[in-house]
Structure 1
């Protein structure tokens, strides 16, 4: 299945779209936040690092393994939400996200995660997607709240594994068909 940039999640009050080279200054600014830097493995300090990060997003789209969306509010970049599919056509995927410091605490992350989840199941369930996981370090209470508000119940504690020094949480959502039943083909 070919996914085009025009195919995207929808969330009230937010625009979710593929990242563009023009997002470079906003990415650099967002990654100046110490909380964001602490929670992400990759940092973006300059235009060269931003270009590498953006290239990874473009390559993911082309390969069908990573669908990363810029989250904008009133034209400003306020976050990122991404569907990671290690195997295109596989039964499982992972959702990831970050929110820029000025946008935190206003419910943007749960709205963006919910929009991405609905989009992912609508787009990929016919091709076999059955479960999406949201993973985070166990001490990240804000991510637990985002997961719960987005309909991702806690399913297990994941033991620490490098580069993560702490146990983590796995929250999961399963695909439900139009009748609200789990579809387990």
Structure 2
């Protein structure tokens, strides 16, 4: 059952709400993916309403299987526009889990990219119950300096470099790790 998470206001921005994506978000999703910078760093293709419906269906199925918890990031309060996306995923057969995120152009520089993944990471260790992971990973392309800064702000240490793996992951990537705090 999807839940929402509150993110307290910070020095760099207002209070946020992490809420499950819904059908009404299709237009905001298409608009977000018009941004060249977002498309550069993400692998999903959302060019039109049909792509958005498909993407939203994938997020819903992730909740249903309990393997992927995807949230739209919005300002807390009234009907606010989507500022970004944050996801906690645990692929089949993998002992750890991964946190991913993106932000819309208007949200960059406002602390959204570091605050939303930090809150989801804090909750991530418990999200899968007793069989939850002992570590979370945040992976980004090696030349994405902004994501490196976000990872460090969220408590993830650089653990290594992934070699390129075309076609899914053509460039090399940084792997940042956050261990379960006992």
User: What TM-score do you get using the length of structure 1 for normalisation?
Assistant: 0.88
- The correspondence for 2:175, drawn from 170, 174, 180, is 170
- Is 1:149 aligned to 2:178, yes or no? no
Query: What's 2:2 paired with?
Result: 5
CA RMSD of superposed structures (Å): 1.5
- The correspondence for 2:124, drawn from 105, 120, 134, is 120
Query: What's 1:72 paired with?
Result: 74
Size of the aligned set, in residue pairs, is 172
Equivalent runs, 1:28-39 vs 2, <5 Å:
28-39=30-41
Gaps of 5+ in 2: 9-14
C-alpha displacement of 1:125: 5.7
Q: After TM superposition, which residue ranges in structure 1, 4 or more long, deviate above 4 angstroms? A: none
Q: Secondary structure at the match of 1:134?
A: strand
Task: Tell me the distance in 2 between the aligned counterparts of 1:72 and 1:116.
Answer: 14
- The correspondence for 1:104, drawn from 97, 108, 133, is 108
- The correspondence for 1:82, drawn from 76, 82, 87, is 87
Work out whether residues 125 and 175 of structure 1, in 8 Å CA contact, stay in contact via their aligned partners in 2: no
Work out whether residues 9 and 118 of structure 1, in 8 Å CA contact, stay in contact via their aligned partners in 2: no
Q: Secondary structure at the match of 2:6?
A: coil
User: What TM-score do you get using the length of structure 2 for normalisation?
Assistant: 0.89
Q: Secondary structure at the match of 1:78?
A: strand
Output one character per residue of 1:127-167: Cα deviation in whole Å (capped at 9) or x when no partner.
23111100011000010011000000100011111132322
Task: Tell me the distance in 2 between the aligned counterparts of 1:156 and 1:145.
Answer: 15
C-alpha displacement of 1:101: 0.5
C-alpha displacement of 1:100: 0.3
